Amino acid sequence: MNDPLNFYGVTLQSRLLVGTSQYPSPAILADALAASKTEVVTVSLRREAGGSRAGEGFWGLIRETGLRVLPNTAGCRTVKEAVTTAHMARELFATKWIKLEVIGDDDLLAPDPFGLVEAARILCDEGFEVFPYMTEDLLLADRLVEAGCRVLMPWAAPIGSGRGLNNVFGLRALRARYPDIPLVIDAGLGAPSQASQAFELGFDAVLLNTAIAKAGDPVAMARAFALACEAGRTAYKALTIEPRDMAEPSTPVLGRAFT
Protein backbone atom coordinates (compact mmCIF):
# COMPACT_ATOMS: atom_id res chain seq x y z
CA MET A 1 0.00 0.00 0.00
CA ASN A 2 1.47 3.35 -0.98
CA ASP A 3 0.39 5.51 1.94
CA PRO A 4 3.28 7.79 2.82
CA LEU A 5 3.59 9.89 5.91
CA ASN A 6 5.15 13.32 5.81
CA PHE A 7 7.06 14.98 8.65
CA TYR A 8 8.45 18.40 7.80
CA GLY A 9 8.85 17.48 4.15
CA VAL A 10 10.37 14.03 4.83
CA THR A 11 8.39 11.15 3.38
CA LEU A 12 8.20 7.89 5.30
CA GLN A 13 6.52 4.58 4.57
CA SER A 14 6.54 3.20 8.11
CA ARG A 15 4.17 4.74 10.64
CA LEU A 16 5.88 3.19 13.64
CA LEU A 17 8.61 5.19 15.42
CA VAL A 18 10.67 3.28 17.96
CA GLY A 19 12.71 4.16 21.05
CA THR A 20 16.14 2.69 21.74
CA SER A 21 16.32 2.40 25.54
CA GLN A 22 16.12 -0.53 27.96
CA TYR A 23 16.71 -3.39 25.49
CA PRO A 24 18.29 -6.51 26.97
CA SER A 25 21.24 -6.25 24.58
CA PRO A 26 22.47 -4.25 21.56
CA ALA A 27 21.89 -7.29 19.34
CA ILE A 28 18.26 -7.57 20.43
CA LEU A 29 17.82 -3.84 19.87
CA ALA A 30 19.16 -4.18 16.32
CA ASP A 31 16.93 -7.19 15.57
CA ALA A 32 13.86 -5.52 17.07
CA LEU A 33 14.40 -2.39 14.98
CA ALA A 34 14.63 -4.54 11.87
CA ALA A 35 11.48 -6.49 12.82
CA SER A 36 9.55 -3.28 13.49
CA LYS A 37 10.27 -2.07 9.94
CA THR A 38 10.64 1.40 11.44
CA GLU A 39 12.37 4.17 9.54
CA VAL A 40 12.80 6.49 12.54
CA VAL A 41 14.42 5.82 15.91
CA THR A 42 14.36 8.21 18.80
CA VAL A 43 17.48 8.54 20.90
CA SER A 44 17.73 10.22 24.27
CA LEU A 45 20.73 12.48 24.27
CA ARG A 46 20.93 12.98 28.00
CA ARG A 47 20.47 9.38 29.04
CA GLU A 48 22.66 7.80 26.39
CA ALA A 49 25.39 10.41 26.26
CA GLY A 50 25.65 10.77 30.01
CA GLY A 51 24.88 7.26 31.17
CA SER A 52 26.79 4.03 31.42
CA ARG A 53 25.70 2.92 27.94
CA ALA A 54 27.38 5.93 26.40
CA GLY A 55 30.09 5.20 23.92
CA GLU A 56 30.87 4.37 20.37
CA GLY A 57 29.14 0.96 20.59
CA PHE A 58 25.67 2.37 20.97
CA TRP A 59 26.07 5.24 18.53
CA GLY A 60 27.78 2.92 16.06
CA LEU A 61 24.84 0.52 16.22
CA ILE A 62 22.39 3.35 15.58
CA ARG A 63 24.48 4.59 12.66
CA GLU A 64 24.73 1.09 11.20
CA THR A 65 20.96 0.72 11.07
CA GLY A 66 20.88 3.62 8.60
CA LEU A 67 17.63 4.76 10.19
CA ARG A 68 16.68 8.39 10.52
CA VAL A 69 17.32 9.65 14.05
CA LEU A 70 14.81 11.73 15.97
CA PRO A 71 16.85 12.94 18.95
CA ASN A 72 14.85 13.62 22.07
CA THR A 73 15.22 15.74 25.17
CA ALA A 74 14.00 13.03 27.57
CA GLY A 75 14.89 13.79 31.16
CA CYS A 76 14.85 17.58 30.67
CA ARG A 77 12.87 19.46 33.28
CA THR A 78 13.50 23.08 32.35
CA VAL A 79 13.32 25.13 29.18
CA LYS A 80 17.05 25.82 29.41
CA GLU A 81 17.95 22.13 29.70
CA ALA A 82 15.70 21.21 26.78
CA VAL A 83 17.00 23.96 24.51
CA THR A 84 20.64 23.17 25.33
CA THR A 85 20.02 19.47 24.71
CA ALA A 86 18.40 20.29 21.37
CA HIS A 87 21.46 22.30 20.37
CA MET A 88 23.71 19.35 21.23
CA ALA A 89 21.47 17.00 19.25
CA ARG A 90 21.66 19.21 16.18
CA GLU A 91 25.47 19.15 16.36
CA LEU A 92 25.69 15.40 16.96
CA PHE A 93 23.15 14.19 14.42
CA ALA A 94 23.17 17.04 11.91
CA THR A 95 19.38 17.17 12.00
CA LYS A 96 16.83 19.90 12.58
CA TRP A 97 14.43 17.36 14.07
CA ILE A 98 13.94 17.33 17.83
CA LYS A 99 11.43 15.43 19.94
CA LEU A 100 10.86 18.00 22.62
CA GLU A 101 10.19 16.76 26.12
CA VAL A 102 9.97 19.17 29.05
CA ILE A 103 8.86 17.08 31.98
CA GLY A 104 6.80 18.82 34.66
CA ASP A 105 5.67 16.06 36.96
CA ASP A 106 7.82 13.26 38.33
CA ASP A 107 5.04 10.80 39.15
CA LEU A 108 3.36 10.88 35.75
CA LEU A 109 6.32 12.10 33.68
CA ALA A 110 3.73 14.50 32.30
CA PRO A 111 4.79 17.36 30.05
CA ASP A 112 5.10 20.83 31.57
CA PRO A 113 2.79 22.65 29.13
CA PHE A 114 4.16 26.12 29.96
CA GLY A 115 7.80 25.15 29.57
CA LEU A 116 6.97 23.09 26.48
CA VAL A 117 5.41 26.04 24.65
CA GLU A 118 8.28 28.34 25.63
CA ALA A 119 10.94 25.87 24.51
CA ALA A 120 9.02 25.08 21.30
CA ARG A 121 8.83 28.78 20.45
CA ILE A 122 12.58 29.25 20.98
CA LEU A 123 13.51 26.17 18.95
CA CYS A 124 11.07 26.83 16.08
CA ASP A 125 12.41 30.40 15.83
CA GLU A 126 15.92 28.94 15.59
CA GLY A 127 14.87 26.74 12.68
CA PHE A 128 14.37 23.43 14.49
CA GLU A 129 11.60 21.09 13.36
CA VAL A 130 9.95 20.33 16.63
CA PHE A 131 8.00 17.20 17.63
CA PRO A 132 6.50 18.16 21.01
CA TYR A 133 5.60 15.46 23.54
CA MET A 134 2.34 16.83 24.92
CA THR A 135 -0.92 15.99 26.59
CA GLU A 136 -4.06 15.92 24.41
CA ASP A 137 -5.12 19.40 25.62
CA LEU A 138 -6.58 21.46 22.75
CA LEU A 139 -5.36 24.82 23.98
CA LEU A 140 -1.85 23.43 24.36
CA ALA A 141 -2.07 22.15 20.79
CA ASP A 142 -3.13 25.61 19.61
CA ARG A 143 -0.18 27.24 21.36
CA LEU A 144 2.29 24.72 19.95
CA VAL A 145 1.00 25.20 16.43
CA GLU A 146 1.20 28.98 16.90
CA ALA A 147 4.80 28.50 18.03
CA GLY A 148 5.57 26.79 14.73
CA CYS A 149 5.20 23.04 15.43
CA ARG A 150 3.98 21.15 12.35
CA VAL A 151 3.82 17.75 14.04
CA LEU A 152 2.19 17.07 17.42
CA MET A 153 2.85 14.11 19.69
CA PRO A 154 0.09 13.64 22.26
CA TRP A 155 0.59 10.97 24.88
CA ALA A 156 -1.67 7.94 25.12
CA ALA A 157 -0.83 7.56 28.81
CA PRO A 158 2.19 8.22 31.03
CA ILE A 159 5.54 7.04 29.68
CA GLY A 160 6.22 3.41 30.48
CA SER A 161 2.71 2.80 31.89
CA GLY A 162 1.45 0.62 29.03
CA ARG A 163 -2.09 1.77 29.75
CA GLY A 164 -3.10 2.53 26.17
CA LEU A 165 -5.32 5.42 25.06
CA ASN A 166 -6.39 6.96 28.37
CA ASN A 167 -8.58 9.72 26.96
CA VAL A 168 -10.15 8.66 23.69
CA PHE A 169 -12.59 11.57 23.80
CA GLY A 170 -9.78 14.13 24.10
CA LEU A 171 -7.70 12.46 21.41
CA ARG A 172 -10.67 12.42 19.01
CA ALA A 173 -11.19 16.14 19.65
CA LEU A 174 -7.54 16.83 18.89
CA ARG A 175 -7.75 14.85 15.66
CA ALA A 176 -10.87 16.77 14.65
CA ARG A 177 -9.29 20.15 15.42
CA TYR A 178 -6.13 19.44 13.45
CA PRO A 179 -7.04 17.26 10.48
CA ASP A 180 -3.99 18.38 8.50
CA ILE A 181 -1.23 18.25 11.12
CA PRO A 182 0.49 14.89 11.51
CA LEU A 183 -0.46 13.54 14.94
CA VAL A 184 1.75 10.89 16.52
CA ILE A 185 0.65 9.01 19.61
CA ASP A 186 3.73 9.03 21.84
CA ALA A 187 4.10 7.10 25.08
CA GLY A 188 1.95 4.81 27.17
CA LEU A 189 1.12 2.14 24.60
CA GLY A 190 1.40 -1.35 26.06
CA ALA A 191 -0.03 -3.70 23.45
CA PRO A 192 -0.30 -3.88 19.66
CA SER A 193 -4.10 -3.64 19.85
CA GLN A 194 -3.71 -0.19 21.41
CA ALA A 195 -1.52 0.96 18.52
CA SER A 196 -4.14 -0.36 16.13
CA GLN A 197 -6.82 1.60 17.99
CA ALA A 198 -4.78 4.80 17.60
CA PHE A 199 -4.73 4.34 13.84
CA GLU A 200 -8.43 3.48 13.73
CA LEU A 201 -9.07 6.84 15.41
CA GLY A 202 -7.20 8.52 12.58
CA PHE A 203 -3.81 9.14 14.15
CA ASP A 204 -0.97 9.23 11.66
CA ALA A 205 1.74 7.34 13.52
CA VAL A 206 2.75 5.94 16.90
CA LEU A 207 5.99 6.13 18.86
CA LEU A 208 6.82 3.61 21.54
CA ASN A 209 9.65 2.14 23.49
CA THR A 210 8.82 0.24 26.67
CA ALA A 211 6.25 -2.15 25.22
CA ILE A 212 8.83 -3.54 22.80
CA ALA A 213 12.04 -3.19 24.82
CA LYS A 214 10.63 -4.81 27.95
CA ALA A 215 8.55 -7.52 26.28
CA GLY A 216 9.50 -11.13 26.93
CA ASP A 217 10.54 -11.36 23.29
CA PRO A 218 11.25 -7.84 22.01
CA VAL A 219 11.86 -8.94 18.43
CA ALA A 220 8.53 -10.77 18.16
CA MET A 221 6.77 -7.86 19.84
CA ALA A 222 8.32 -5.39 17.41
CA ARG A 223 6.90 -7.46 14.57
CA ALA A 224 3.49 -7.60 16.28
CA PHE A 225 3.43 -3.80 16.58
CA ALA A 226 4.39 -3.42 12.92
CA LEU A 227 1.49 -5.67 11.91
CA ALA A 228 -0.93 -3.87 14.26
CA CYS A 229 0.01 -0.47 12.86
CA GLU A 230 -0.59 -1.70 9.36
CA ALA A 231 -3.91 -3.29 10.35
CA GLY A 232 -5.16 -0.17 12.14
CA ARG A 233 -4.16 2.17 9.35
CA THR A 234 -5.69 -0.11 6.71
CA ALA A 235 -8.93 -0.26 8.69
CA TYR A 236 -9.01 3.52 9.02
CA LYS A 237 -8.54 4.00 5.29
CA ALA A 238 -11.22 1.38 4.61
CA LEU A 239 -13.71 3.44 6.68
CA THR A 240 -14.96 1.53 9.70
CA ILE A 241 -18.73 1.35 10.27
CA GLU A 242 -20.40 3.70 12.75
CA PRO A 243 -21.41 1.95 16.00
CA ARG A 244 -25.21 1.72 16.46
CA ASP A 245 -27.34 1.41 19.58
CA MET A 246 -29.80 -1.09 18.06
CA ALA A 247 -29.31 -4.27 16.11
CA GLU A 248 -29.46 -4.29 12.35
CA PRO A 249 -29.75 -7.68 10.64
CA SER A 250 -26.55 -8.52 8.84
CA THR A 251 -28.49 -10.91 6.61
CA PRO A 252 -31.44 -9.05 5.07
CA VAL A 253 -34.49 -11.32 4.66
CA LEU A 254 -36.75 -11.11 1.60
CA GLY A 255 -40.23 -12.38 2.53
CA ARG A 256 -40.83 -15.47 4.69
CA ALA A 257 -39.89 -18.96 3.60
CA PHE A 258 -42.60 -21.14 5.21
CA THR A 259 -45.77 -19.05 5.45
The response to whether 60 counts as a known ligand-binding position is no
Residue by residue, DSSP assigns the chain as: ----EEETTEEES--EEEE-SS-S-HHHHHHHHHHHT-SEEEEEHHHHHHSTT-SHHHHHHHHHHTPEEEEE-TT--SHHHHHHHHHHHHHHH--SEEEE--EEETTTTEE-HHHHHHHHHHHHHTT-EEEEEE-S-HHHHHHHHHHT-SSBEE-SSSTT-----S-HHHHHHHHHH-TTS-BEEES---SHHHHHHHHHTT--EEEESHHHHTSSSHHHHHHHHHHHHHHHHHHHHT-PPPP-SS---SS---S-TT-
Contact 203, 232 (CB under 8 A): no
Among 36, 38, 72, 197, binds ligand DXP (CB under 6 A): 72
Q: Measured in Å, how far apart are the chain's first and last C-alpha atoms?
A: 50
**Binding residues for ligand DXP restricted to 74-103, rule: CB under 6 A:** 74
73 is in an annotated binding site: no
Residue 152 binds ligand DXP, judged by CB under 6 A? no
Closest to ligand DXP by CB, 3 vs 155, is 155
Question: For residues 73 and 81, is the Cβ–Cβ distance under 8 A?
Answer: yes
- Least distance (Å) between residue 9 CB and ligand DXP: 22
- Return d(Cα 206, Cα 6) in angstroms, integer: 14
The answer to whether the annotation marks 187 as part of a ligand binding site is yes
Q: Is 115 in the site for ligand DXP (CB under 6 A)?
A: no
Indicate whether 132 belongs to the interface with ligand DXP (CB under 6 A): no
Q: Cβ closer to ligand DXP: 141 or 154?
A: 154
**Shortest Cβ distance from residue 158 to ligand DXP (Å)?**
7
- Work out which of 5, 7, 19, 143 binds ligand DXP, going by CB under 6 A: 19
- Spell out, one character per residue from 33 to 52, where the chain touches ligand DXP: x when CB under 6 A holds, - when not: ---------x----------
Q: Which candidate, 183, 178, 185, 184, places its Cα nearest to that of 163?
A: 185
| 99 noted as active-site residue | yes
Under the binding rule (CB under 6 A), the answer on residue 14 touching ligand DXP is: no
Please report how close the Cβ of residue 108 comes to ligand DXP at its closest, in angstroms: 12
| Residues within window 170-209 making contact with ligand DXP, judged by CB under 6 A | 186-189, 207-209
Q: Give the residue among 211, 161, 205 at the shortest CA–CA distance from 185.
A: 205
111 lies in the site for ligand DXP, by CB under 6 A = no
In the bound state with ligand DXP, the residue whose beta carbon lies nearer, of 129 and 186, is 186
Nearer to ligand DXP, 155 or 175 (CB): 155
Binding site for 1-deoxy-D-xylulose 5-phosphate, by residue number, is 160, 187-188, 209-210
Residues making contact with ligand DXP (CB under 6 A): 19, 21, 42, 72, 74, 159-160, 186-189, 207-211
Which residues are known catalytic residues? 99
